[in-house]
Structure formats: C-alpha cells, structure tokens
Amino acid sequence: MKIPNRIAAAALALAACLVPLASPGPAAAADGPLQVAATLSDLGCAARAVGGSDVEVTVLCPGGMDPHYLPAKPSLSRKLGQADALLFNGLELEIGWLPPLLEKARNPRVRAGAPGMIDCSAALDAVLDVPSGAVDRGLGDIHPQGNPHYTVDPRRMIAVVELVGRRFGELDPPRAAAYRDRADAYATHVAGAAAGLAGADRRPAAPPRPAEPPALELPLRLARPGRDRRDRAPPRHRGLAAARAGHGGEVPRAGRRRGRGRGLGPPRRGARDRRPRRRLPGGPAGPLGRRAGHRRLPRVPGRRDPAPGRSGRGAGRGVTMDGFLEMMAAPVVMALVLVAMHSHLGHHVVRRGVIFVDIALAQVAAFGVAISLLLGGEIGTDSTYAVALGSTFLGALLISRTRGKSERVPQEAYIGIIYAVCSAAMILVLTQVPHGGEEINHLLVGAILWVTWPTLLKTAALYAVLGFLLWRWRGPLDRISADAEAARREGLPLRRWDFAFYLILGTVVTSSVQIAGVLLVFTLLVVPTVMSVRLFADHRRHFGYTLAVGVAAVVLGAALSYVLDLPTGAAIVCVFGFLLGLQVLLESLLRRG
C-alpha cells in the first residue's frame, strides 16, 4: 500500500474509533438533596445558608472570574442539565453567556417561567443607578436595567435569602419549614450585625498598619464598641456567607497572630488553629454555615439517598454517549460544515502562496466587529455582521490590489502588514469598549459550543450559495491558483478574479469568525490542505482526504473538550496541530521502513 493510502486509512480509522466515548451511566437516584446551580458565588453562599445539607450547590461563575463573560465549557451545560433550581443575578448581568447556556442545557426545570428559575433581583424593592434614555456600549460600562451588583450589600441580601427560602420551599415542600427557619436566622444575624455597626463611623480611625499578605476579607465587620485596636480597621466586603462558610460558621478576629503572619487565612493543614475566635449565635456552627440552623428531618418512607459520589435529583447526565450527542451534536456538525467549505478555499490559498490571507481577512472581520461594539452593537446581531462584512469587502479589495506585475515585494508581505495593522487597531478599539479583554478572547477563540441548529442551517445555506459560485467560476480560479503568470498570458484579468475570490473568502471568514474565532478559522483553512498536499500530487484527491482529517480532528477535539472540560474551539485547533505532527512522523517512519 502506498504511503498516502496508508495515512488516509489511518485517519479514517481514527475518526471511526472516536465516536464511542462512554456507555450511559446508571440511572439517578429517585430523590435526594435539591440540586441548585448559582451563577455567582454570593448567590451560591445564599443557597447554602438557606439549604444547609438539604441542597447541593454548584457555582457556575466562581470568584475571580468575570460574571459578564464566561468561557464556553461543556461542564457548564452538564451542571445546568442536573439542576432543579437556578439562582441568577438578573438585571442582564449574565446576558453574555447564560441564555445560550440555558439553550444548550435543555433542562425544562430551569427554563423561562419554570419554578426552578429564581431571579434574585426580583427580591429588591428598588434598583440603583437606572439610566434614563437609550443606552449602548458606546456610553461605557452602563447596565440598561440598573446596577446589578446588589450582592455586595449584606442588607439587600436579606431580601434575596428570604426569596430563596420561599422558592426552595415551593420546590421541596417536605423541607419548607427548615428552609424558612434558616432564612430567618440569616436575616436575624445580619440585622444584629448591622445594629452593632451603628456607631462605627464615630470611633477614631485606626493608625496605619504594616503591609501583610492578602487575607480573607469580611463583608460586614462584627465589631462592637470596646474591642481592641485591631478590630477598628475599616470594613472590606467579599460576601458574608462566603466568610462564614470558609470558617465553619465561626468568624476569626481581624489582624495577624504574632509570629504567624497569615492574616485571616485558614490554618495550615495538620496544624491546630489557636487563634481567638468569637462564636455567633445559633449553635456550634452558627446560623449561616453549611449546617447552620439545620434540623434533621425524619426519614421519608420509600426515599432513597443518593449514591456516593453522585448528585441526587438531577444526576445522571455525566460523561456519557447520550450527553455527548445531546450537547456536542450541533457544534460538531457546524465544525464539519466549516471543514467542507474552508478546506476547498484553503486549497486555493495554499496553491496561490498567500498563506496569511485567510487570517488577515479574519482579523479584518474581527476589526469590523470591534468597531461595531464601539458603536453600541453586540456580537451575533445583524448590525455587527453588516459592519464586519463591509470591513472584509474593503480588505478583499485592498488585498486584490496588492498583486502586481513586479514581484520585488511579495504579496504575502502586504498581507502580513494588513494583518498586523488590523490586529493593533482592534486592540486599540477594544480598549475603549467595556470588557474589551473578554471581547478579544471571544474573537480569537470563539464560542462554537454555543452554536444552535438555526445558526447552523443559516450558515450552511450561505455556504451552499458561495459553493455554487466557486463551482461556477472554477475554471479561471483554478488556472490562477495553479499558475498566475500563465493565466495572465491567457488574458485573464487577475485583479478582477482575485477580488471575486477574496470576496467569497471574506464572506466565509466573516460568518465563521463570530462562531468559531480567528484561530479555528485559520486552522480549518490551512492545516487540512497542508496535510493533503504533503501526500497527494493530484488535487482531485485532496477534498476527500481533508474531509477525513477534518472529521477525525473535529470529533477528537469535541470528545476531549467534553471529557476534559476544555473550550471546544481551542481543543479542535490543538488536535489539528497534533494530527499534522503525527502525519509528518508517520511519513518519516514509513519512508525509513
């Protein structure tokens, strides 16, 4: 068997072997703790304060991550798929990632209007900083429905906890009384702590203290008149329930223990913590800890506890074949559609010797998206697509004009300049846009995991029209890609046909950049074609091989993304690079043999 046929057979075998990921897991327990998903850590702490050991809480956006934008990972959909209830901040704080995540999870318990959808902002009697008139991104970091960061105020969290207690009781009536008691204990404790702060501002300010390592910051200082100097430090907020949960219901005193230098941090593993503590009312753990105020309910006849290591009510959607197909079907099919279109265009790109034209046009499209964001647009809207497409048309016209009769300066040099300038301009523009860093990451990596079937069908229809144009004009385009000078001698207008080709390429890139990101678009255009050109001299065999390689890389990348909880687009890019390196290694070994 010839080397190219061996490589092709190996790629097809690899693609076939990647499909069976795992067998379906065992059925979930019929009953157990209430499965709660919370978008923010503060809301997760509120759920734990109310639910105690009767709930299992999963935080989708833990502390340290930007709640406005969250990377697309399969674990987020799995967590929502298991949830009986979802606590979300509301006021459009999670508008950038929660709607597609809910669409991907397909959990009827946390759909709009379902009892499990708990909008915590509904507990507020008033919303601060509501802007008047029309607002958009061009005005800065302004939230149209008002300031959504109400969780930083423990007093306003009282209303949130009371709402959570009522809704948990509706979802789990046998334990409604326990939820209500814990919510009341939370409100009583915070109200008492706030009363203790009534005279805090009238006390003399504490002298400056030497710098110390970062410590756990208490949201609401439980200082009272008569405490020592260390307790008079100005309060810093980080979530009352978070502080309580991190210390088992006991709040350590402020300041450092002499000779320790660890501030309010937890004790070393294996070491006894001798720091002085003060206990809060409500039992050994206090009313706000994980077991705070928990009353052990009598065992319900016929009720089964969840199996060890598994969730209760909503379990059963682990890493299984059914879960993979349900979550990854649309992203995989979209990636295969991109492979089919981009591999054909990539064959022209490689033969023309303008390798960077695709990533340059992708960067031009990304620059257009950045301009639209600066003007108030949003990614995925028709206005943003129109601005990006217009920018790409201008880029295609500019690139087509860089081909000249003289080759003193290669066309690839001009293309590289266009790429560099557009990249720098995009960064400059996005520095003026709220959350510009997250937008840059989105444009580079994309969010193919969130793609939906309507978007896929619209993209496939567009690619079908563009594919027909490529087939209709295949004669002159193939001759120019094979030998531009020979085509010039035949009388073909090179710049006109170059503009037509780059126009089609730019339209494809503009559509795919907002879905898959710049990196995956460039990879799909170049890597499969390079792998096929290394094996086959006849370009008629390229398309089949690039499809085989694309299937293998897409399925393997999606499988790794699902099992290891990685961003899908970046995983597919790395798999393409791995397969290219593997092919080069196999070629070398087979030639030596």
pLDDT for residue 401: 83
**Sheet strands side by side (includes 117-119):** 55-61, 34-40, 85-88, 117-119
Domains of the chain by residue range: 34-129+138-195, 321-592
* 451 neighbors 462 (Cβ within 8 angstroms): no
- 312: part of which helix (H) or strand (E)? none
pLDDT for residue 437: 63
As a whole number of angstroms, the distance between CA 189 and CA 6 comes to 72
Each residue of 297-316: pLDDT tens digit? 333 333 333 433 334 444 44
pLDDT for residue 336: 86
The residue among 37, 101, 110 whose CA lies nearest residue 69 is 101
> Helix (H, G, I), strand (E, B), or coil: what is residue 118?
strand
The residues, any chain, with a CB within 8 Å of residue 451's CB and separated by 6 or more, are 330, 331, 334, 515
As a whole number of angstroms, the distance between CA 14 and CA 20 comes to 12
As a whole number of angstroms, the distance between CA 210 and CA 130 comes to 40
- 3.40.50.1980, 2.40.50.140, 3.20.10.10, 3.90.199.10: which CATH number matches 34-129+138-195? 3.40.50.1980
As a whole number of angstroms, the distance between CA 249 and CA 189 comes to 12
The residue among 151, 175, 180 whose CA lies nearest residue 165 is 180
* 286 neighbors 292 (Cβ within 8 angstroms): yes
Q: Which amino acid is at 19?
A: V
Point out the residues of the chain with pLDDT beneath 70.
1-31, 133-142, 196-324, 380, 404-407, 434-445, 539-540, 593
- 119: part of which helix (H) or strand (E)? strand 117-119
**pTM for the full model?**
0.61
pLDDT for residue 38: 93
As a whole number of angstroms, the distance between CA 189 and CA 166 comes to 19
DSSP 87: E
Rounded (5°) CA angle 276-278-284: 115
As a whole number of angstroms, the distance between CA 389 and CA 171 comes to 48
Alpha carbon separation from 89 to 8, 54, 94, 570 (Å, rounded): 51, 22, 7, 29
Q: SS in 3 state form for 328-387? A: HHHHHHHHHHHHHHHHHHHHHHHHHCCCCHHHHHHHHHHHHHHHHHHCCCCCCCHHHHHH
The residue among 70, 14, 63, 20 whose CA lies nearest residue 43 is 63
* 297 neighbors 34 (Cβ within 8 angstroms): no
Residue 224 burial class via C-beta count within 10 angstroms: exposed 0-12, middle 13-18, buried 19 and up: middle
- 96: part of which helix (H) or strand (E)? none
- Per CATH, the architecture of 321-592 is what? Orthogonal Bundle (1.10)
